[in-house]
Structure 1
Amino acid sequence: MSKEKVVLAYSGGLDTSIIIPWLKENYDFEIIACCVNVGQEDDMTEVKKKAMLAGASKIYTEDVTDNFVDEFVFDALKANAVYEGKYLLGTAIARPIIAKTLVEVAHKEGAKYIAHGCTGKGNDQVRIETVIASIDPTIQIIAPWRIWDIKSREDAIQYAEERNIPLTVTREKIYSRDQNLLHISHEGGHVEDPKNQPNMKELLMMTKTLQEAKDEPEIVEIEFFKGKPIKVNGKEMSGKEILSTLNKIGGDHGVGVIDLLENRMVGMKSRGVYETPGGTILWYAHSELERLVLEKDVQHYKAQIANKYAELVYNGMWYSGLKMAFDGFIDKTQETVSGKVKVQLYKGNILSAGMESPYAIYNDEISSFGFSELFDHHDAEGFIKLVSLPFKIKAHCLGKEYLDKTFKSKEA
């Protein structure tokens, strides 16, 4: 009788490297490793070799980078989704397509179980399992970090050493990193304590430090069509090529590094350093173009939705009804978000350097302080009277005593 199969979300990092032997020691499963390539810079030949040596019977290396950029990164870009004002959601955006691919492999292999290496304190366990439940609620989850006796990354290293599992992390450089084409995150080690200044020279992998960044500014032009970038410096590219190109350019100028003390969805705070060079350029340029083409109420209301959208993505609700309803609204707003945006990059900074669009709703003749046939300065008098009318009524009704009390200068 053949064994039951489990599909393991495999990266070759510390957690997933020890999960294979742990599964073999605790379950009678055939282990199918699945490494989903979303643009991380791993040698897939080495990843395959490592998984097989650890005891997997088979490994899939599924390259979904194009779909990741076109269908996930660019959806978040169109929404201007930024979590807590800083984080461009690099890890959170990747988890849905990773989980979706795991389900596809499970179906192909006839596996009833999916295992992952997400910790019980983190957000990724929710992101992965919510997507799996959305696609196939019959699949059962095995989450070793919620079961085993391993309590820390130091324990995990010891477990690996006892079983002669090769590792790239050490007790001295114990950072937990997550990389895809949009970003790389750095957590753990000295980064965890908010009072410590991160050693950027030691941490950064995609981006140069400000000291090492180019000494001359550079102007980059990005062209958008209906909210999606289609060209860089006049050259038409795929989404994957655009993000790769801007990662290199932005990385050379030290753009897109943030130090964030964030609120995890499970209720605790955690601190991480994130590198998102190309994404930061795209988010900035896209937001600037929207200022040129969206009418005031649409722009303002979309900004409110962007905050909630980012929260939904962060919390793993990619396939929720609310998030998908927001997608419909956002796609409608993007119908006129086409045009070219120039940005200047220098020592971690991004500055606007000009933009144009056939849908621009800015007219310098109207907006200038000079004469315009569409606007007469005298019209402002009636407008101001109407706007201020409620305040006049309130003042008249409440009387002088109330006004004196309300607007009396505070004593020192």
Structure 2
Amino acid sequence: MKKAVLAYSGGLDTSYSLVKLTREHEMEVHTVIINTGGFSSEELKQIEKRAYELGSNFHKTINIIDKFYKDCLRFLIYGNILKNNTYPLSVSAERIFQSIAIAEYAKSIEAEYIVHGSTGAGNDQIRFDVAFEVISPKSKIITPIRDEKVTRQQEVDYLKKQGIHMNWEKAKYSINKGIWGTSVGGVETLSSDLALPEDAFPTQLSETDSAILEIEFSKGEPIGLNGEKMNSVALIQKLNEIGGKYAIGRDIHVGDTILGIKGRVGFEAPASMIIIKAHHLLEKHTLSRWQLLHKDSLANWYGTLLHEAQYLDPVMRDIEAFLTSSQKRVTGTVKVQLYPYYFRMIGINSPYDMMQSKVAIYGEENQAWDSRDAKGFIKIFGNQLKIHHSFNDQE
């Protein structure tokens, strides 16, 4: 029997693929699910149970949450990365790392085939295929849904014919939950003018009294919450819990797909939005103006390339090196105030706070120069403008 690794989620598309491979192609199928923080232990158990019921020969859960943070999320924090100034790249970042982990597993067991359930319409098919071809080039890629052009109803009919009866009714909203955010898709996101209703979001408002948080950063990484030191992954999970109660981090992202079409997706991402904004404020106090300007440009490229399935390009390691270097003084605490549906930054405390320099204070006295120095600087600073505008009379 030929060996196939199936990127398995337990949904309709991957269930259809699993039954097709085992019953029609008689393959030895290894169903693999990659946990990047979007599944509870109970959900993972149910997914494994369903995989074996549908014919999986081997099932494996691979937990890469810590690796995902170390190799990706911390760089999204360093860069304050929000695609189109809105979206924290929640699902797109996770898909890349899930794809890489699937490919590495397939290579380790010398699988002849790698299978995924993507259609031919979205971004994920590109992320999967690129990672598979680069990391496990000897494995042939099979995509039953894309290759056979089957509809959702055809998938349901096929499974029923195979004696498999489950509740395959499509939920009103498509939810993809992850540690860096949860995407929400529905009929409203297919339009350009409608907002998602309150009940579309998986986490509902349950806290209305304002609260103040203190987030501690060390060299750009979040390491403490309200005076308690903790692992960065645990801190993100805790912030998701706290911020979710305030319904913080909700929005709709409008962007360009890799395929060149526009798309809309709703999301809730309390932890990522709070951390990114808090980190950015701390950077404003501790980095030089040129660090901030160059970081903005490189971080935008990093987020774009990550979204566009280019994580494995060596330029990403180059940008990561720059981002890491920029964080040497991004250390301190940031106060954040939470309200229902929004939050605001209060201020920071850092040993590297350039506002608290003894040399000069903005708008106040300073010891670095006197009035003559200021006048001379201003005169030279405006010199080129004076030269340019001196020709106006001749025109």
> TM-score of the superposition, structure 1-length normalised?
0.89
For each residue in 1:224-259, what CA deviation from the matched residue of structure 2 results, as whole angstroms up to 9, or x when unmatched? 111111111111212221111000111011111111
How far residue 109 of structure 1 moved from its aligned partner, in angstroms, is 2.5
Cα gap change, 1:233 to 1:276, in 2 (>3 Å): same
Distance in structure 2 (CA, Å) of the matches to 1:246 and 1:347: 15
Q: In 1, are the aligned partners of 2:103 and 2:131 still within 8 Å (CA)?
A: no
1:236 aligns with 2:218: no
Equivalences, count = 392
1:368 aligns with 2:362: yes
Cα gap change, 1:174 to 1:141, in 2 (>3 Å): farther
How far residue 399 of structure 1 moved from its aligned partner, in angstroms, is 2.7
One-letter amino acid of the structure 1 residue matched with residue 106 of structure 2: A
Q: How does 1:120-159 map to 2 (within 5 A)?
A: 120-151=120-151, 153-159=152-158
Distance in structure 1 (CA, Å) of the matches to 2:137 and 2:120: 20
Between stretches 69-78 and 253-262, larger displacement belongs to: 69-78
How far residue 155 of structure 1 moved from its aligned partner, in angstroms, is 4.3
How far residue 174 of structure 1 moved from its aligned partner, in angstroms, is 4.2
Match of residue 191 from structure 1: 189
1:86 aligns with 2:86: yes
The one of 260, 269, 272 equivalent to 1:267 is: 260
One-letter amino acid of the structure 1 residue matched with residue 28 of structure 2: E
Distance in structure 1 (CA, Å) of the matches to 2:370 and 2:153: 71
The one of 186, 204, 218 equivalent to 2:201 is: 204
Distance in structure 2 (CA, Å) of the matches to 1:18 and 1:85: 38
Distance in structure 2 (CA, Å) of the matches to 1:168 and 1:281: 37
Between stretches 378-387 and 315-324, larger displacement belongs to: 378-387
Q: How does 1:143-182 map to 2 (within 5 A)?
A: 143-151=143-151, 153-165=152-164, 170-171=169-170, 173-182=171-180
Distance in structure 2 (CA, Å) of the matches to 1:20 and 1:346: 46
Three-state SS of the structure 1 residue aligned to 2:137 is coil
One-letter amino acid of the structure 2 residue matched with residue 143 of structure 1: T
Q: How does 1:332-347 map to 2 (within 5 A)?
A: 332-347=325-340
Q: How does 1:3-14 map to 2 (within 5 A)?
A: 3-14=1-12
Between stretches 87-96 and 181-190, larger displacement belongs to: 181-190
Unpaired runs of at least 5, structure 1: 403-412
Match of residue 393 from structure 2: 399
How far residue 73 of structure 1 moved from its aligned partner, in angstroms, is 1.4
Cα gap change, 1:270 to 1:26, in 2 (>3 Å): farther
Three-state SS of the structure 2 residue aligned to 1:75 is helix
Match of residue 46 from structure 1: 46
Identical-pair percentage = 28
Distance in structure 1 (CA, Å) of the matches to 2:72 and 2:122: 21
Between stretches 3-12 and 175-184, larger displacement belongs to: 175-184
For each residue in 1:366-410, what CA deviation from the matched residue of structure 2 results, as whole angstroms up to 9, or x when unmatched? 22322211143443333332232222222223435x4xxxxxxxx
How far residue 349 of structure 1 moved from its aligned partner, in angstroms, is 1.6
Three-state SS of the structure 2 residue aligned to 1:336 is coil
One-letter amino acid of the structure 2 residue matched with residue 33 of structure 1: T
Q: In 2, are the aligned partners of 1:82 and 1:88 still within 8 Å (CA)?
A: yes
Cα gap change, 1:169 to 1:26, in 2 (>3 Å): closer
Match of residue 15 from structure 2: 17
How far residue 178 of structure 1 moved from its aligned partner, in angstroms, is 1.8
1:388 aligns with 2:382: yes
Unpaired runs of at least 5, structure 2: none
> What's the Cα RMSD here?
2.1
Q: In 2, are the aligned partners of 1:176 and 1:187 still within 8 Å (CA)?
A: yes
Distance in structure 2 (CA, Å) of the matches to 1:6 and 1:108: 12
One-letter amino acid of the structure 2 residue matched with residue 170 of structure 1: E
Cα gap change, 1:374 to 1:25, in 2 (>3 Å): same
Q: In 2, are the aligned partners of 1:131 and 1:318 still within 8 Å (CA)?
A: no
Q: In 2, are the aligned partners of 1:223 and 1:230 still within 8 Å (CA)?
A: yes
> TM-score of the superposition, structure 2-length normalised?
0.92
Between stretches 379-388 and 335-344, larger displacement belongs to: 379-388
How far residue 294 of structure 1 moved from its aligned partner, in angstroms, is 0.4
